[in-house]
Structure 1
Amino acid sequence: MLPLPRVLVFDIFGTVVDWHGSIVQELQQRYPQVDGHAFALAWRAGYQPAMETVRSGGRGWVALDALHRDILDGLLPRFGLAHLGEPERVELNRVWHRLHPWPDSVAGLTRLKVRFTICTLSNGNLGLLTDMAKRAGLPWDCVLGAEVFRVYKPDPRVYLGAAGVFDAAPVELMMVAAHHDDLAAARACGLQTAYIERPLEFGVAQVKDVSPVGANGLHARDLLHLAELLGC
């Protein structure tokens, strides 16, 4: 049996906040003629390829806000929004700072915070994560992201760097995420792992398989359930 972790580090997009539903809602409010579901999926589809240009050395380090903006500029003509000016593009790109938490997130984190140090470990940049936390009421003890280490997950330097920040052995951290690839990378670095079911991450039209994977230490329906499993 592994010891209880000291620190819980959290993936954010899809795990703690509903990126798809938030973007759909914002598009419906601003540009109702656009298919918000398709737009959200297309924007997110550019996420991994954009980060790979940095991981591979094809471009120097840039924060996620800049990558999101590059993807956005490429999407706008496809969705009939090529006419948007710079102020409108800047404001739309900041939707990632305004993502809504899942209904259980604030209460679940608040319970977990009583017993554990809770910290972001996201590919989001610090300004984005801080703005999001302020707006959504996410009660982090610490905000960490790829920007601190200047590499994107799943680079081991992110997971091991987080352990270093807390002067902890990797096994003293638990990575909490709704994505098995993130958890596998964390586990390869010695972290404990907990999977969170988010079947609606991609919307009701594209329900996600949330079947358990045996390698994960814990499997929870949501963050409140994780708090129960961890005795909070």
Structure 2
Amino acid sequence: MKNLNNIKVLAFDIFGTVVDWHSSIVAELNRMKIQVDANQFALDWRAGYRPAMDKTLTGEMNCVSVDVIHRLILEELLIKYNILHLSEKQKSDLNLIWHRLCPWADTVQGLNKLKDKYIICTLSNGNIRLLVDLAKYSNLPWDYIFSAENFYAYKPSPKTYLGVAELLDVKPNEILMVAAHHSDLAAARSCGLRTAYIERPLELGTTIKNNVSPCIDNDLHASDLLDLVDKLSK
């Protein structure tokens, strides 16, 4: 295992890594008794995120919060699925499910253990209010919440990864980026951060097999956050 003794900060991706967006959205759709394929609706909602984000990165669309992006995608999906009966309040409440996503079973215990030794923070494209609400809802014990809003740039912009280093007064290689997505980790490595991959085989639900194969470029590969605790203690 690579030497990580100099690590001072663990920066976490949120959607899919720390919280289970898919199951949370499916449960909300069922709670609201919306007659739709909840599994596919959740997948489509998340799938619209990256193209919308890319439009902001290229300047095709103004830089807006993830809340606004989620609402734009939701409006398109309501038309696509012919869901035309929801009131404005119902649509707003549904959009705010992204503020009430449930953590994975290992998340809270794992974060509390990691917090004993490291500064733990978010590094997410989610807007600050969303991340604060998630922390409150799921008892996530962050030392600090970093959002794309702090840096006026979305991941994978180097401004985000290097911004954490600057604001916490550490070197990039003293930060371990923790994520369940290899693209996020590759961008972090290009900025000099160390990287840890977390397996989340059920991120996309049970109908799609999520490839959680190791990448040799990562410093660590863990089955979950408790496994990450064990690997960092060795």
Query: Which band: TM-score by shorter chain?
Result: over 0.9
Work out the CA distance in 1 between the residues paired with 2:129 and 2:56: 19
- Select the residue among 13, 38, 41 that pairs with 2:40: 38
Work out the CA distance in 1 between the residues paired with 2:90 and 2:4: 50
Give the CA RMSD over aligned residues.
1.1
* Deviation string, structure 1 residues 79-127 (Cα, Å, up to 9, x no partner): 2312322111111000000000000000000000000000000010000
Secondary structure of 1:67's partner?
helix
The equivalent of 1:106 in structure 2 is: 108
- Select the residue among 174, 192, 208 that pairs with 1:172: 174
Deviation at residue 2 of structure 1 after TM alignment: 4.6
Q: What is the TM-score normalised by the length of structure 2?
A: 0.97
The equivalent of 2:195 in structure 1 is: 193
Work out the CA distance in 2 between the residues paired with 1:19 and 1:62: 21
Secondary structure of 1:115's partner?
coil
* Deviation string, structure 1 residues 39-80 (Cα, Å, up to 9, x no partner): 000000100011111100112221100000000001002223
Work out the CA distance in 2 between the residues paired with 1:57 and 1:209: 32
The answer to whether structure 1 residue 230 and structure 2 residue 219 are counterparts is: no
Deviation at residue 231 of structure 1 after TM alignment: 1.1
Work out the CA distance in 1 between the residues paired with 2:4 and 2:229: 17
Aligned pair in 2 of structure 1 residues 110, 2: CA closer, same or farther (>3 Å)?
A: closer
The equivalent of 1:16 in structure 2 is: 18
Conserved 8 A contact 1:19-1:96: yes
Q: How does 1:10-159 map to 2 (within 5 A)?
A: 10-159=12-161
The equivalent of 1:209 in structure 2 is: 211
> Could you list the runs of 4 or more consecutive aligned residues of structure 1 that deviate by over 6 angstroms after TM superposition?
none
Query: Which residue identity lines up with residue 146 of structure 2 in the other structure?
Result: L
Secondary structure of 1:120's partner?
strand
Deviation at residue 37 of structure 1 after TM alignment: 0.3
Query: Which residue identity lines up with residue 168 of structure 1 in the other structure?
Result: V
Work out the CA distance in 2 between the residues paired with 1:38 and 1:225: 31
Work out the CA distance in 1 between the residues paired with 2:5 and 2:146: 23
Query: Which residue identity lines up with residue 158 of structure 1 in the other structure?
Result: T
Work out the CA distance in 1 between the residues paired with 2:84 and 2:232: 49
Secondary structure of 2:135's partner?
helix
Work out the CA distance in 1 between the residues paired with 2:44 and 2:77: 8
